[in-house]
Structure 1
Amino acid sequence: MASVGRWLPWVALVLAAAVALVPGDRLAQWLPESLSKPGRDQVLHAAGFFFLTVCFRGWQGPVAAPSRWIPGALVILILFALIHEGIQILIPGRTISSADLFADGIGIIVGVAFCLLLSQSKKSKSY
């Protein structure tokens, strides 16, 4: 199971990168109409980066201290968010959006907070 935790963040990043490379008109065909309303894109960005952050929690193993996984995860996820958003200028029907980048950051912050709370909860139950 530990090996899954080591590979999962990288697989998730590859899948997220693949989605970023899909042309806008094709992406609109794949998503339900309810998700293509204004503001929903940011919800998807925040949820996606929350998921990526939680995936990175398992990167250093199940008992890793926050100081072991958070700095590396933050660097990787922030760089990925910038590249993920920046590359969209090259994709037909896609644009760079500061709102999407902000939502990515919110997802990362909430993901880190969630992992820290979960870690604290597990520690308090073990006493």
Structure 2
Amino acid sequence: MLKSIFTSETYQSYWKLLFWIILAALLYLTLTPKPPQPISFHNIDKLYHFAAFGGFTFVFGIAFSKISYWYILLVSILLGIAIEVVQIYVPNRGFSIADMLADFIGVIVGIIISRAIVKKQSSNKNR
């Protein structure tokens, strides 16, 4: 049962809906002048960036598993860069190379996990 949740055609529409919800939340939280910070300690935002982009890319990879993972990787990385550039113009926000690095690491982890799941599931289907 759990296996089919990731790659079954039945669940693809749910994964795509989740992708759009996460993208909207990601854009809101990264482009809002004063986003909520449930936990506050030095550089916690780097963990938030890692988790947000890792989760986004993971869901992107599952929801659109038929798309080349290079395309998903490129779009996710460019999204992180674009957000950092736009933050220059958002009050109380700013451009940060460290944030982009955290985004990038999250993207890499998200794509690795999603591709491993998709690859394993498709090899199980072919048996």
**TM-score band, normalised by shorter chain:** 0.7 to 0.9
Distance across 1 between alignment mates of 2:64 and 2:90: 34
Displacement of 1:7 after TM fit? 3.1
Query: What residue ranges of structure 1 are gaps of 5+ in the alignment?
Result: none
Structure 2 unaligned blocks of 5 or more: 1-10
Poorly superposed stretches of 4+, deviation over 6 Å: none
**What residue in structure 2 maps to residue 14 of structure 1?**
24
One-letter identity of the residue aligned with 2:72:
A
User: Percent of aligned positions with the same letter in both sequences?
Assistant: 28
TM-score in terms of structure 2 length: 0.77
- Is the contact between residue 58 and residue 110 of structure 2 (CA under 8 Å) also seen in structure 1? yes
Normalised by the size of structure 1, how large is the TM-score?
A: 0.77
Distance 1:120 1:59, change over 3 A: closer
Q: How many residues align?
A: 116
Residue among 5, 15, 20 paired with 1:5: 15
Q: Give 2:37's match in structure 1, choosing from 23, 31, 42.
A: 31
Deviation at 1:124, TM superposition (A): 6.7
The alignment yields a C-alpha RMSD, in angstroms, of: 2.1
